[in-house]
Structure 1
């Protein structure tokens, strides 16, 4: 009934007896705009309240005690016990008397019920999706666990995407977060059981999200903590695979034979082979960071993994590739070196590119990140470059060459040695890409070119 109580015609009845058949008879007397209140003759305060479309047993009472400020008794309150379809008049009387007994002992029944209803309503409103919207605002402001500023935007974007994808996979975005338990987390893990790396990433992202929910005192415990360690996704084994120089040369050549391959994709693939940077760094390379005259690529701190500006020397093999791109793009002073097909953003589609490269080169089971291992392995084991120098070229976040106290005092960049490493690497590649180049290699590199 949507009409207000002020507009209702209230009719009160006080029968000497009230049985189930009597209640049914009163129900048949219901009418629009009318409230029929039938007092229970054997239980003061209990009444059958009938509206045009609903009926219920209602217990009215005055809470015990007085207001400490006014000194007056608290106003009367009421609570619904249930409908006559659930409770007979006798059952309603017994339930009302039980509540009265608790009320006399000092229990605030109405208050407890009201608090429970409010808590239940709040829990229902705190869905995963709504809390994720709040988390999206919080996460970019969160400091790194080891200090040193806030999280990088790329990390934030990936983390949020993992959380959303994980809950979407089990259709739980619209569910109250309090209903997410151990079984739901196991369902998420099962959904990605065949993809170890993705499953682990999802689990970690969801756990961080639920940690935040717990910190906000919305849930009592993070359900990810209830998953036994033997059922959590294991860390993928470190990849040890690397490509030989002839194999890399084969991929370089294949990049020029794939039909329908965008020039930017072709040049990106070749650039990744010649420059042992991270794939994401190559994709986001911009002209304003490149000096083709001096052969230097200055990576800004926001691009690198350790958030420190990094300088990479670009030998003639690389500068030739970039110079051709620069000329074809109209010699821009800024913008993406490897733009997407529409030129509005950085290039994407690495997985598609790799699949084409595998087919064209006949080499499978490799990833572009393997080039970094190839660079270190070939130049260290077969050419004698210092591992510390090669580590600096790779710009590792925690360089193995500078642990502990050494990392505090050793600040040398070893730029000349790094330049020479890049020169040797590109000359080896060029010797396999263009065999005639091998004739002009230094003596100490000829045996590698012939391998």
Structure 2
């Protein structure tokens, strides 16, 4: 039979037989072994240099997609024609020591750099070297689902279920990488229980809290970032890495490129006069396009600065992302229509989804400016109130 994902999934071992072998018509020698219990493995059958029939496995069907398995089979069969014996090589490879979890962490972090945001890379480093330090000496192929469950239970007990959820996501990404690299056959995090259901935050700062936070902001990079977050409803990373080249101050406009937005869509942010006043006080650093921080990716050190801001403002239990929700809620309470709030936040949903979103980008420019000007005026009225 000619293999397709559907035809392979439908295969079953005949009653009374431990397994059945079925081969692909499109790639002679490439097949699938289906056991009585339902497990499926990709196999390659060939003849070695002595003419003896050999069979070797490529991997489990649920882990290795058909196109990837077929390509691997063709590569292996090509090597056989050149005189290699993959089965002998596989046996030899089994005698090599398997890399430990801890040995692979630096390789994974190096792989993640350039693919993940700096903040995500740092979180991965902290979880893998901190929460999962107990796995470091264990061969990575010997980490089982029970080990994962035990580690997550310990994290839940020590740091809470939400921290355990985040650690679980990092561990799953790590093992997905090991599977992709051919180091491990399966991801032991798959199928493990989540420590807690994902919980959507609903924190919105009250008017007195917003005033306290604003007034506690100092005249430095972090203080300016926080105030711009309040005024624009933008995301933390977007403001932290804002560049002079993105700003058209005479036009009172910030053109956020798609490469820096979460949904990868370019986003025009109208700037209120209050936002322009803040930007006017940002010092220009010679040879540097970024407004804030000294690193290549913008401002860093949020945790330390946020802790000091909490102390000065006496407002706790909030995150910088809550300022985005506060701005959205505030605009809605001021009468801004929902689709305009979505446009301000650069949400691609509801009215902005699909082709309509492309055409509405320009038509919402006036509405977005009016909404952010209205919000800024409201914030300043709160700040200036006796």
Q: Which residue is 1:121 aligned to?
A: 95
The answer to whether the 8 A contact 2:109-2:125 is kept is no
1:125-140 alignment, distance < 5 Å: 125-132=98-105, 135=108
Change (3 A) 1:406 1:295: closer
**Alignment equivalent of 1:279, drawn from 215, 236, 241:** 236
Structure 2 CA distance for aligned equivalents of residues 252 and 289 of structure 1: 25
Change (3 A) 1:200 1:423: same
Shift of 1:386: 0.9
**Alignment equivalent of 1:157, drawn from 118, 121, 124:** 121
Residue 280 of structure 2 is aligned to residue 323 of structure 1: yes
Change (3 A) 1:156 1:354: closer
Change (3 A) 1:383 1:205: same
The answer to whether the 8 A contact 1:162-1:205 is kept is no
Structure 1 CA distance for aligned equivalents of residues 252 and 200 of structure 2: 33
Q: Which residue is 1:213 aligned to?
A: 178
Q: Which residue is 1:367 aligned to?
A: 319
In angstroms, what is the RMSD of aligned CA positions?
Answer: 3.3
Q: Which residue is 1:63 aligned to?
A: none
Q: Deviations over 1:87-131 (max 9, x none)?
A: xxxxxxxxxxxxxxxxxxxxxxxxxxx999845433x23333454
Shift of 1:226: 5.0
Structure 2 CA distance for aligned equivalents of residues 280 and 272 of structure 1: 10
Tell me the TM-score normalised to structure 1 length.
0.58
Q: Which has more radius of gyration? A: 1
Change (3 A) 1:421 1:246: farther
Change (3 A) 1:296 1:406: closer
The answer to whether the 8 A contact 1:290-1:296 is kept is yes
The answer to whether the 8 A contact 1:392-1:399 is kept is no
Residue 240 of structure 2 is aligned to residue 304 of structure 1: no
Q: Which residue is 1:184 aligned to?
A: 147
Structure 2 residue matching 1:312: 3-state secondary structure: strand
Shift of 1:435: 3.5
Structure 2 CA distance for aligned equivalents of residues 184 and 242 of structure 1: 38
**Alignment equivalent of 1:197, drawn from 162, 187, 191:** 162
The answer to whether the 8 A contact 1:125-1:176 is kept is yes
Shift of 1:317: 0.5
Shift of 1:323: 0.4
The answer to whether the 8 A contact 1:287-1:335 is kept is yes
Structure 1 CA distance for aligned equivalents of residues 166 and 137 of structure 2: 22
The answer to whether the 8 A contact 2:131-2:155 is kept is no
Structure 1 residue matching 2:263: 3-state secondary structure: coil
Unaligned runs of 5+ in 1: 1-66, 70-113, 142-150, 257-261, 437-451
The answer to whether the 8 A contact 1:273-1:371 is kept is yes
Residue 220 of structure 2 is aligned to residue 263 of structure 1: yes
Q: Which residue is 2:335 aligned to?
A: 384
The answer to whether the 8 A contact 1:285-1:337 is kept is yes
Shift of 1:379: 1.7
Residue 190 of structure 2 is aligned to residue 225 of structure 1: yes
- State how many pairs are aligned: 300
Q: Which residue is 1:53 aligned to?
A: none
Change (3 A) 1:136 1:298: same
Residue 267 of structure 2 is aligned to residue 336 of structure 1: no
The answer to whether the 8 A contact 2:342-2:352 is kept is no
The answer to whether the 8 A contact 1:283-1:338 is kept is yes
